A and B are shown apart, each in its own frame.
Chain A
């Protein structure tokens, strides 16, 4: 385990930070203001692109990759990603620790006849910490958590929770921000302090996690004997895990998912994908 992750793990026992929840509750009414605070998030939907890249032999139309899959969106916020997933046919559950966020997400989805008609099996929301879901036997084909990891207090515990919610052979998607000088400059200094595009206090540099720290975590997870990603220094194979940079192009006002291994692309925002081995089950967890 990386020292940085450990140090933080010692401070709190639950992954949820009350101050973070209060911060996002204050902003919750702005979730669906597409020109406002969260405009960057509205444009960030890289899941499908990765899914397509990972399944080049996919014969079906690209829009049906997720059809019928059980998908869990951890830290769904106002439901930006959850709604998209539901439209693509995924049986989506969005959970968030902020009650205000869940209210907003429900209200917004109720106004959309396409989502409302499809019913709760297609899209539902729950105000709960992700940890509470472990009590249910239900597991998911895809667990995703976009731009959440940098806000939690105990990343190893959070990662463990998310991983255990994935079905064997299922996928875990995380997008977050790397702990680099560039990330500090772009996401805190420029976005919060200079351009004021994002509320001050949204990000804390020390909480950012580097992609290699995530890979290192899964080299020993759930235990050193049968990890999700093979041990040693070799790059994870394409069937195990992948790190891809997400680069915001301010001119086009859109995110670009950098190709695998693009140099320097994962220095700020990045997407991490890892697959749970098909043989793994709950007993593997310590």
Chain B
């Protein structure tokens, strides 16, 4: 035993000598933190680190990004036009950005507070009305969340970073390979396309879904592609009519093909996120902005049976090689409206919008988003939806000193707009752990320093992601008992003020108390999901099970709320 020990020591000593030799000729640069990826998460981490005096004094921080970030820094959109990628930033995310002094650089004029949320079931029409003001939440005018273009946020972060010379931004620089050498103590070596090699104490992967850092660290992830494509666009519409208040309500309708969301950006522009089946998404995008605009209006208004008819019409026309035209679709919508006895003055009519965008709004208009008149040019895009979660946020063994944040660690269904918020929460936590380690004299790349980050964020993200996933599955069916359970679920929640308050608090990142509302929602949606699964198999005795499920939701709700009082 002693012999093996001493031979190991000899080997180590030889290693030490060879390492010292290699250092004298080495071309690698020493960095403490190398962040790969200049998206919102990577830039926010660089900003957070740069805003701490302790970090500025003790760590060398670099951010590597393949694209030209000066384009983002010089982004000057025309007034009234908006980028198609926008996120609803929760209060928690905004507070974090304020704490690191980055929010000052975000153009607040281009953001929009969400004061209310209208969410309803496309099949049963059961509806939840989330309103910040009615429930007296927060301070007046604070709203539930703030719609912010991702570019506006990125530009703000870059402006903030330009005042922090200690954080080095290496843009227009691709990461070619990442490896490690035993001689360098297995610290990650980041090889850049300009020949530089960065040896990093801590390597942060903020490099998105197909993260090269994650591949280097051999962190596996699990997940699945939803059979869903999301269409995004910036929609133009007339301002809200008299007596209707400003355009500060977010609308979301759950259709069996997926949810469609209308998110306000300004009085006359809003952001679309429409998740639907991939062939339909392809056909809708190919049919052009006029047809897509009419279909958006219809998708918020027509009963599900008519939407299915229109979807088929679009698909057939696309398959035949001659995509549907705007007049055709408008005629089809008019015909469907007549068959549903929807009067052309009704709030639910959208076949001819010219007459309806002026004058006194019809009854119920506040339950629906404004009528879309056009889509801003070049803003229509679509991308596939995925659920992805890595097995770990920390690399191990030869991939040690590696940590993942944001989309590199998790990709979430966008139906509650939580993706970017989760990423910012990761960044906030990681920056805090790095500072804690510095205060203790710790090595910021060590597992000991990073473990609290993984422990705090992994379960939290997983919980929210599972709720999103279960809601997606729950709302993707038109099977009747499930729809009934769904509508009961939604309506029960709508009647239950404290639950609503709790849901909204969390959606805006401001917990009511110690226990997280996502726990409650997770339990609730889990029992609903379990019951609906069972309902698919056994049609008899279904109601009993559903009642149990709904009771489950209520029980968790009441016990949670009573604990709080």
Interface residue A60 (Cβ < 8 Å from any Cβ of B) = no
Contact of A35 among B12, B19, B396 (CB under 8 A): B396
In the complex, are the beta carbons of B15 and A84 less than 8 A apart?
no
Residues in A neighbouring B441, C-beta threshold 8 A: 45, 48, 63, 66, 83-88
In the complex, are the beta carbons of A100 and B5 less than 8 A apart?
yes
Interface residue B244 (Cβ < 8 Å from any Cβ of A) = no
> In terms of DSSP, what is the predominant structure of the interface of chain B?
helix
The answer for the CA separation of A83 and B185 in the assembled complex, in Å, is 15
In the complex, are the beta carbons of B446 and A111 less than 8 A apart?
no
In the complex, are the beta carbons of A48 and B16 less than 8 A apart?
no
Stretch in A3-11, A102-110, A219-227, A235-243 touching the partner? A102-110
Contact of A83 among B15, B184, B443, B452 (CB under 8 A): B443
Interface residue B451 (Cβ < 8 Å from any Cβ of A) = yes
Residues in B neighbouring A103, C-beta threshold 8 A: 9, 12-13
Residues in B neighbouring A54, C-beta threshold 8 A: none
Interface residue A137 (Cβ < 8 Å from any Cβ of B) = no
Closest to A41 in B: B448
Interface residue B108 (Cβ < 8 Å from any Cβ of A) = no
In the complex, are the beta carbons of B455 and A253 less than 8 A apart?
yes
Contact of B187 among A39, A99, A107, A111 (CB under 8 A): A111
The answer for the CA separation of A209 and B246 in the assembled complex, in Å, is 72
Interface residue A61 (Cβ < 8 Å from any Cβ of B) = yes
Closest approach, in angstroms, between the C-beta of B382 and any C-beta of chain A?
A: 43
In the complex, are the beta carbons of A254 and B452 less than 8 A apart?
yes
The answer for the CA separation of A87 and B439 in the assembled complex, in Å, is 9
Residues of chain A in range 91-147 having any CB-CB distance to chain B below 8 Å: 99-100, 103-104, 106-108, 110-114
Interface residue A22 (Cβ < 8 Å from any Cβ of B) = yes
Interface residue A154 (Cβ < 8 Å from any Cβ of B) = no
In the complex, are the beta carbons of A114 and B15 less than 8 A apart?
no
| Best-buried of B438, B441, B442 by chain A (most CB within 10 Å) | B441
Interface residue A26 (Cβ < 8 Å from any Cβ of B) = yes
In the complex, are the beta carbons of A63 and B439 less than 8 A apart?
yes
Closest to A115 in B: B443
A-B contact count (CB 8 A): 76
In the complex, are the beta carbons of A253 and B5 less than 8 A apart?
no
In the complex, are the beta carbons of A107 and B440 less than 8 A apart?
no
Interface residue A28 (Cβ < 8 Å from any Cβ of B) = yes
Residues in B neighbouring A88, C-beta threshold 8 A: 440-441
Given contacts A34-B447, A48-B439, A106-B16, contact A29 B8 (CB under 8 A): yes
Residues in A neighbouring B187, C-beta threshold 8 A: 111
In the complex, are the beta carbons of B446 and A34 less than 8 A apart?
yes
Given contacts A45-B441, A84-B440, contact A107 B15 (CB under 8 A): yes
In the complex, are the beta carbons of A110 and B20 less than 8 A apart?
yes
- What 1/0 flags go to B416-446 for Cβ under 8 Å of A? 0000000000000000000000111111001
Residues in A neighbouring B452, C-beta threshold 8 A: 252, 254
Residues in B neighbouring A106, C-beta threshold 8 A: 16
Given contacts A84-B441, A103-B12, A112-B443, contact A42 B5 (CB under 8 A): no
Closest to B396 in A: A35
In the complex, are the beta carbons of B185 and A111 less than 8 A apart?
yes
Closest approach, in angstroms, between the C-beta of B502 and any C-beta of chain A?
A: 25
Closest approach, in angstroms, between the C-beta of B326 and any C-beta of chain A?
A: 60
The answer for the CA separation of A86 and B441 in the assembled complex, in Å, is 8
Contact of B185 among A45, A86, A108, A253 (CB under 8 A): A108
Residues in A neighbouring B451, C-beta threshold 8 A: 253
Closest approach, in angstroms, between the C-beta of A214 and any C-beta of chain B?
A: 25
The answer for the CA separation of A29 and B455 in the assembled complex, in Å, is 27
In the complex, are the beta carbons of A45 and B184 less than 8 A apart?
no
Residues of chain B in range 1-18 having any CB-CB distance to chain A below 8 Å: 1-2, 5-6, 8-9, 12-13, 15-16
Interface residue B54 (Cβ < 8 Å from any Cβ of A) = yes
Closest approach, in angstroms, between the C-beta of B28 and any C-beta of chain A?
A: 10
In the complex, are the beta carbons of B9 and A99 less than 8 A apart?
yes
Given contacts A84-B442, A88-B441, contact A252 B455 (CB under 8 A): yes
Closest approach, in angstroms, between the C-beta of B458 and any C-beta of chain A?
A: 13
Residues of chain A in range 1-41 having any CB-CB distance to chain B below 8 Å: 22, 25-26, 28-29, 34-35, 39
Residues in A neighbouring B519, C-beta threshold 8 A: none
In the complex, are the beta carbons of B16 and A110 less than 8 A apart?
yes
Closest approach, in angstroms, between the C-beta of A159 and any C-beta of chain B?
A: 26
Interface residue A205 (Cβ < 8 Å from any Cβ of B) = no
The answer for the CA separation of A104 and B8 in the assembled complex, in Å, is 10
Closest approach, in angstroms, between the C-beta of A186 and any C-beta of chain B?
A: 21
Interface residue A262 (Cβ < 8 Å from any Cβ of B) = no
Given contacts A111-B185, A252-B455, contact A48 B440 (CB under 8 A): yes
Closest approach, in angstroms, between the C-beta of A115 and any C-beta of chain B?
A: 9
Known contacts A34-B446, A108-B185, A112-B443; can you find 18 more A-B pairs with CB under 8 A? Answer: A25-B2, A28-B5, A45-B441, A62-B439, A63-B54, A63-B439, A84-B441, A86-B441, A87-B442, A87-B443, A88-B440, A100-B5, A100-B6, A103-B12, A107-B12, A111-B184, A112-B185, A252-B452
Shortest Cβ-Cβ A-B pairs, 4 listed: A111-B185, A84-B441, A88-B441, A34-B447
Q: Chain A: residues with CB nearer than 8 A to chain B?
A: 22, 25-26, 28-29, 34-35, 39, 42-43, 45, 48, 61-63, 66, 83-88, 99-100, 103-104, 106-108, 110-114, 252-254
11 residue pairs of the A-B complex, CB under 8 angstroms, read A25-B2, A35-B447, A45-B440, A62-B439, A63-B438, A84-B440, A86-B441, A103-B9, A112-B201, A113-B30, A114-B32
